[in-house]
Amino acid sequence: MAFSDLSLIKVSIMDFQTLRDNCPTWQDYIHHEFVNQVAAGTLSKQSFQHYLKQDYLYLLHYTRVMALSVYKSDTLAQMRVGQAGINAMLDLEIGMYLEFCQQWDLSIKEVENTAESAATIAYTRYLLDAAMSGSLVELYAAIAPCLMGYGEIGQRIKTEGFVDNNPYQPWIDVFASEEFQKVTAQNKAFINQLFADVSPAQQPKLQKLFNTASRMEVNFWQMALDLS
């Protein structure tokens, strides 16, 4: 059961599962109508195109957050995790989204010239502010919903069963794949390692960062549905 009063969250060891279980909007994020329509193959083309364009813009800012994670790191091992995140964004994920855009009749020029939606601005600036003003553990509390949520969504859709002739199956396949699930597990292990030394006094702030980012994810899905 999620706590409504962050001051009540006092656990001996805080980890990703603690953040997830105490987040009031996590299920709204994972089970959002946008996700449900993608899984069913019923989402409108316009909504998916809008999502792709905005998520491309989001990923550019996310890469900047990962660069800040290197700056905030205390050890070489932590820096390498941040570096791997930057490489994954620049060499793989952003390119993958541009390929999706082209498959869905969106030119790279159109994507790059798209104006950021209000939801994209709110979410990305929130993450950048958390990354610039906080510690490494605070940075990861803020990005954890994005970092971990897509893997959970992919696994859920796979478990519930794929529908035939789903136009969004290529997108689903990425996040349901064994490779992506492996990366998600690695991210979870790193987050749990970072959070192992968090004091009880720090826990409410970390939960608040996570909760706000989860709410931003809900707003991001809704933005795509509303074409806003």
Q: Please give the average per-residue pLDDT across 64-69, as a whole number.
A: 97
Q: What confidence score (pLDDT) does residue 1 get?
A: 40
Instruction: Tell me the residue ranges of DSSP E strands in the chain.
Output: none
Choice among 23, 101, 138, 217 that is catalytic:
217
Q: How high is the pLDDT of residue 13?
A: 82
Catalytically annotated residue among 23, 146, 160, 178: 146
Residue 203 amino acid letter = Q
In this prediction, residue 38 has a pLDDT band, given cuts at 50, 70 and 90, of very high
pLDDT at residue 92 in the model: 86
Q: Quote the pTM value.
A: 0.92
Q: What is the mean pLDDT of residues 55-66?
A: 96
Give residue 5's pLDDT band: very low, low, confident or very high (50, 70, 90). Answer: low
Task: Determine, yes or no, domain membership for 18.
Answer: no
Q: Which three-class secondary structure state does DSSP give residue 114? A: coil
Does any domain span residue 167?
Answer: yes
The answer, yes or no, to whether residue 2 has pLDDT greater than 70, is no
Residue span of the structural domain in which 86 resides: 45-226
Name which of 146, 150, 154 is nearest 213 in CA terms: 146
Provide the pLDDT for residue 9: 54
Tokens at 49, concatenated: 């195109």
What pLDDT, on the 0 to 100 scale, is given for residue 91?
Answer: 87
Report whether 131 contacts 15 (CB < 8 A). Answer: no
CATH number of the domain encompassing residue 140: 1.20.910.10
Whether 38 contacts 224, CB under 8 Å: no
Catalytic residue flag (residue 146): yes
- Residue 154 inside a domain? The answer is yes
Q: Taking the CA atoms of 223, 155, 77 and 141 in sequence, report the sign of the dihedral they define.
A: positive
pLDDT at 11: 58
Q: Tell me, yes or no, whether 135 lies in a domain.
A: yes
Q: Is residue 23 flagged as an active site residue?
A: no
Q: Which residue has the higher pLDDT, 8 or 117?
A: 117
Q: Is the pLDDT of residue 3 over 60?
A: no
CA distance 91 to 86: 8
Q: Alpha carbon 99 to chain centroid distance? A: 19
Q: pLDDT tens digit string along 172-181?
A: 999 999 999 9
Q: What is the pLDDT of residues 72-131, one digit of tens each?
A: 999 999 999 999 999 999 988 898 889 999 999 999 999 999 999 999 999 999 999 999
9 is a domain residue: no
Total domains in the fold of the chain:
1
